[in-house]
Structure 1
Amino acid sequence: MLKINTLAKSKIIFALFLVIYSILGAYFIRYYQYDTISRDLIVIISVAKLYAAVDISNAVNGYWGPFFPWILAPFILQNPAPQSVMYATKILSLITGFFTITGTIFLSYRFKMNEKIRISIIFPVIFVILYFALRYNPVDLLLTCFLIYYLYFIFNPSYSQNLYNSALCGTFAALAYLTKSYAFPFFIAHFIIMNSFYYLKSTANRKKVLKNLFLGLAVFFVISGAWSAVISEKYGYMTFGTSGKYNFEESGPLQHGSPIWNGLMKPPNDKSVSAWEDPSYFKMKSWNPLSSGKSFIYLLNLIANNFLKLIGYLQQFTYFSMIILVIYLSFLFKPLRKLISINGEQIYPILTIILFCAGYLIIFVEFRYFFIVYILIILMGGYLLNMLSKTRFLNKLGTFLLLLLFIISLIVVPLSSLVNNQYIGQDYYSMSNSINKYNVHGNIASNDKYRDSLNIAYYLNAHYYGRATNSTTKKPMTDMELEKSFKEYKIDYYFFWGNSNTNEDLLKKYKEITNGTINGLKIYKIR
């Protein structure tokens, strides 16, 4: 058992880590205050503005979870200016990161390791979380935060002894679901599997385990069911979220990507920045992998390609990832009786990772989807280092060098990214200020550069309808098609990027308002 003074020292050091994180966050936020990150964040802000305006019927959204828009709405009420709101997302992300680091410290005590190793592996978490907070969509970090606290309670060796453990599991899982709907199927599958292990592990506590199972599910369904009922009412069919269906169809053999990239699309309401605010309404081509051998082979290829991408992301995070995961996978190759009886820290994390990753493999994968996996890999690495330090294969110097290499591998990518990408997004903000001088507003379309146009439209408080390409041929619209689209969607301004002569004859009919003052961009006043 650890001495009190050792634990006290650890607490002081961990508190110092949180102070360091806060100072670094306050320093780096100035360099990332303009970063819109992705189209996702822009439309999530748009949803938050609807909540702030108490436009609930339009704010309720089956694709984007409501929790982040809810906590962002008070900032919008304070100052609705686009730049101020974007800055608020960074503040919320850094606050989320603070609680994520705190949760990671708590979760680390579910893994046996000496305090020196524990402190050592928590140190790089400062930079990892700072990187996640400032360079990625805050929703992904918020999901990770809630899942960390869920895992802290479900990994508790004394989980079955107290009903509050399961109640808190259900609560944090429900908050994760309100953040991102992927948490819904993940929690149900993971929670049942974990309780099954506890049930088989202890014959004396089986009744308590069953009570915990039902209580945790009850708490989860009460909270998540309320939101599910709301969105089901809006869309007219039973659903816990529309993102899974959309993403599965987008990744299918018939759809060939999102319709958002080609053709003009009307935003779902008069306050929306883009149609991307609610992809639930997109007309997608559905597919069934079991409908034919060809479709099933397509699914297998999709899974294989996504699996290879996932391995790449894991290696990008740290070159030790695959070594750690392979060792943990070896722990699973035991008869069921032995598997149930071994330490939970050897099987629970790897089962969690397998289950969490599995759902994404059938759609598509991105680095940001697996933040919780990266956190677990750090803690699993600490556990394995602790095991190695107790063997004859590694002396103190060897343990120190291996630990040092592990720490460096965790810090390199986050720190280099934070240093090398400063002021990202400021160009969009500066360009929007230049464009604002010409009183550009209302409905905007462009010939190209979807993301650039969307970012500028956000800062202009305008509505972006998309790129003027034919949705079938993926080629630029003809003059006739473009003019028809201008009228159909009541386009006010048309952004023409580059120097091509596409639609030159049509555009001569409209006034170019910038007189060439903006490099690489012409803006035509349509109405």
Structure 2
Amino acid sequence: MRSNRALLWASITQVSGLLLAGYWFKDALNTDAVAYLRLAEYYAGGQFGLAVSGYWGPLLSWLLALALKAGLPALAAARLVMGCSAVLFFVAGVILLQTAGLSGRWVRTGAWVLALVSIPWSVANITPDLLLAALLALATAFLMAARLDHKLLFTTAAGLLWGLAFLTKAVALPLGLLFIVGWQVWRWRHERLAGRRALAGALIFLAALSLPAAPWITILTRHYGSFTISTSARIAHTIAGPADLERYHSFARHFHRPEAGRVTAWEDPSRMEYQPWSPLEKAGYALHQARLSSWNFVLAQIMLMTVFLDWPVVLGALLLAWRKPAWRVFLPALPVIPALLFVAGLTLMYLPGYLILPEQRFFYPAAPFLFIAGVWLVETLRTRWPLPEAWSGAALAGSFVLPALALLLFFLPARRDAGTMARELAEALRPLEVSGPLAGSASQPGGRVGLYTAFFLGQPWLGDERSPTPESILASGARWFLVNNGTALAQTLSRTPDFEDITPSGLANRHPVRVFRIIRH
């Protein structure tokens, strides 16, 4: 009864927080959001040739398309889908903690943690990472249920959910392959599961996973003309390559023309020009790969700390448990090893390619598994020191909630502000009948205001250069160019006869972005 009441209050708090945060960040955008929302518009409009993209998983765009078909504006649809993803993450996480065998006290604590951290995560980005976290948590809960009841139905359900996770983000596929092998080997080694049953369980899981995954892989293969599971891993590896060539996403470094009907080539960067590389090409590339993977491993640990502050303490305790049997007392009672296998597998997915600290969202799926590891840490410490029960629970919860609170208060407002700038600019430009391609990033701390403005106007965005000149802008084919106010480029354009500053008068004195019309003589 006490647990049910705590879960109810946690869910009420979560929904209330989601509504408040959703309203506060109603204009928040990110670069990936533009792609997901545009693809959703194509699905909603039946433009399936434009909707298919090997770089982005389709599930989030499908859900957004349903909201768009219901008549919601794009950003309202995004806020609704992200809020529902957060609720599903909460429910799936609680089910996982219960199935993992945590006591009622720890399930209640974990429920509050998941409810609170999901609020800022739901508005941090319009991306499928929170939905991915929910599906993976629920899939793992079914695997744990199969471990207890030995029902193949649970294993099948886990595979189907993992297949849906693949439709959310392609990284789920290799992660699923790695995790099911580790999971079954762990059960075979430590639970004396018969080898034949372990193999059968893994095959059933993989067969179920393929049911949602195979049709999408078939669609991508036909779309691109060659076998394609996803293009995201290849591109992520490419842009992390050696600095001997320009390897970053060309949509942000070069002027270009997106495919007809698209706002930005970022909707499907798979066909854009990249400079692929391989560590097998030459010794220098192999050394670069080794350094990259080593650095990404360190960076991943820091990013895990932004989810769970006590992660380094858990690693230290695990080292002690490996060396001292007394520290292993709770390892058999809690599925700590499978939880750590999941975290390790998730980390491994991001070692070979492009990884930066602001992409904390990549590690949202680790949160409930980190909580299980945190419970093991607290219970182990309490066997050696008389830590008060209430204090230890609050300390563990704080290790998750404090980083999420810092994200909400100090890092996310800039993203909201950039979206607001773009919306205000688009609304002011509509009476001027601004149509035709735009260019220029006009980057602010919260994102590319130029791209966001093009999204709000529904006009093509032709990208940007690192150091654009009046000549390169004229050659880009754009009709309008956006640039940050007060920059040397803005001053140069204002003195160039081929450019006319048309920044609406109501915004000219307070808006950080200038809009120039390109005059073609």
Q: With structure 1 as the length reference, what TM-score do the two structures score? A: 0.87
Asked if the contact 2:55–2:230 (Cα under 8 Å) also holds between the matched residues in 1, the reply is yes
- For 1:446, which of 432, 440, 448 is the aligned residue? 440
User: 1:316–1:74: structure 2 CA closer, same or farther, 3 Å change rule?
Assistant: closer
Structure 2 gaps, min length 5: none
Cα separation, 1, equivalents of 2:106 and 2:503: 60
Cα separation, 2, equivalents of 1:247 and 1:153: 31
**Aligned residue number for residue 76 of structure 1:** 68
User: 1:171–1:332: structure 2 CA closer, same or farther, 3 Å change rule?
Assistant: farther
**Aligned residue number for residue 462 of structure 1:** 459
Are 2:162 and 1:168 aligned? Answer: no
**Aligned residue number for residue 266 of structure 1:** 257
Residue pairs, 1:62-461, within 5 angstroms: 62-79=54-71, 84-156=73-145, 158=147, 161-201=150-190, 205-253=194-242, 254-270=245-261, 272-328=262-318, 331=321, 342=332, 345-365=335-355, 366-389=359-382, 391=383, 393-397=384-388, 399-419=389-409, 421=412, 424=417, 425-446=419-440, 448-449=442-443, 451-461=448-458
Asked if the contact 2:263–2:458 (Cα under 8 Å) also holds between the matched residues in 1, the reply is yes
User: 1:78–1:153: structure 2 CA closer, same or farther, 3 Å change rule?
Assistant: closer
Cα separation, 1, equivalents of 2:306 and 2:13: 25
**Aligned residue number for residue 517 of structure 2:** 524
Tell me the SS of whatever aligns to 1:361: coil
User: 1:31–1:301: structure 2 CA closer, same or farther, 3 Å change rule?
Assistant: same
Asked if the contact 1:250–1:258 (Cα under 8 Å) also holds between the matched residues in 2, the reply is yes
Tell me the SS of whatever aligns to 2:306: helix
**Aligned residue number for residue 482 of structure 2:** 495
Are 2:467 and 1:475 aligned? Answer: yes
Residue deviations 1:5-58, cap 9 Å, x none?
A: xxx32122112211111112122211011001x110111100011100111122
- How much does 1:218 deviate? 1.1
Asked if the contact 2:247–2:274 (Cα under 8 Å) also holds between the matched residues in 1, the reply is no
Q: Match for 2:125: what amino acid?
A: Y
User: 1:309–1:324: structure 2 CA closer, same or farther, 3 Å change rule?
Assistant: same
- For 2:52, which of 38, 55, 60 is the aligned residue? 60
User: 1:327–1:111: structure 2 CA closer, same or farther, 3 Å change rule?
Assistant: farther
Cα separation, 2, equivalents of 1:213 and 1:440: 57
- How much does 1:157 deviate? 6.4
Q: Match for 2:181: what amino acid?
A: I
Asked if the contact 2:85–2:131 (Cα under 8 Å) also holds between the matched residues in 1, the reply is yes
Q: Match for 1:426: what amino acid?
A: T
- How much does 1:492 deviate? 2.5
Q: Match for 1:369: what amino acid?
A: F
Structure 1 gaps, min length 5: 1-7
Q: Match for 1:242: what amino acid?
A: T
User: 1:32–1:176: structure 2 CA closer, same or farther, 3 Å change rule?
Assistant: same
Residue deviations 1:438-460, cap 9 Å, x none?
A: 22122111274371101111111
Cα separation, 1, equivalents of 2:13 and 2:499: 55
Asked if the contact 1:507–1:524 (Cα under 8 Å) also holds between the matched residues in 2, the reply is no
- How much does 1:466 deviate? 0.9
Cα separation, 1, equivalents of 2:455 and 2:515: 18
**Aligned residue number for residue 4 of structure 1:** none
User: 1:330–1:357: structure 2 CA closer, same or farther, 3 Å change rule?
Assistant: farther
Bigger drift between 155-164 and 406-415 goes to 155-164
Residue deviations 1:119-145, cap 9 Å, x none?
A: 223312211111111112331101111
Q: % of aligned pairs identical?
A: 19
Asked if the contact 1:428–1:456 (Cα under 8 Å) also holds between the matched residues in 2, the reply is yes
Bigger drift between 496-505 and 95-104 goes to 496-505
User: 1:329–1:184: structure 2 CA closer, same or farther, 3 Å change rule?
Assistant: farther
Residue pairs, 1:502-513, within 5 angstroms: 504=493, 507-513=496-502
Asked if the contact 1:110–1:345 (Cα under 8 Å) also holds between the matched residues in 2, the reply is no
- How much does 1:187 deviate? 0.6
Q: Match for 1:218: what amino acid?
A: A
User: 1:256–1:332: structure 2 CA closer, same or farther, 3 Å change rule?
Assistant: farther
Cα separation, 1, equivalents of 2:189 and 2:308: 35
- How much does 1:418 deviate? 2.9
Asked if the contact 2:493–2:499 (Cα under 8 Å) also holds between the matched residues in 1, the reply is no
Asked if the contact 1:113–1:386 (Cα under 8 Å) also holds between the matched residues in 2, the reply is no
- How much does 1:203 deviate? 5.5
User: 1:170–1:269: structure 2 CA closer, same or farther, 3 Å change rule?
Assistant: farther
Asked if the contact 1:155–1:348 (Cα under 8 Å) also holds between the matched residues in 2, the reply is no
What RMSD over aligned residues (CA atoms) do the two structures have, in Å? 2.7
User: 1:199–1:316: structure 2 CA closer, same or farther, 3 Å change rule?
Assistant: closer
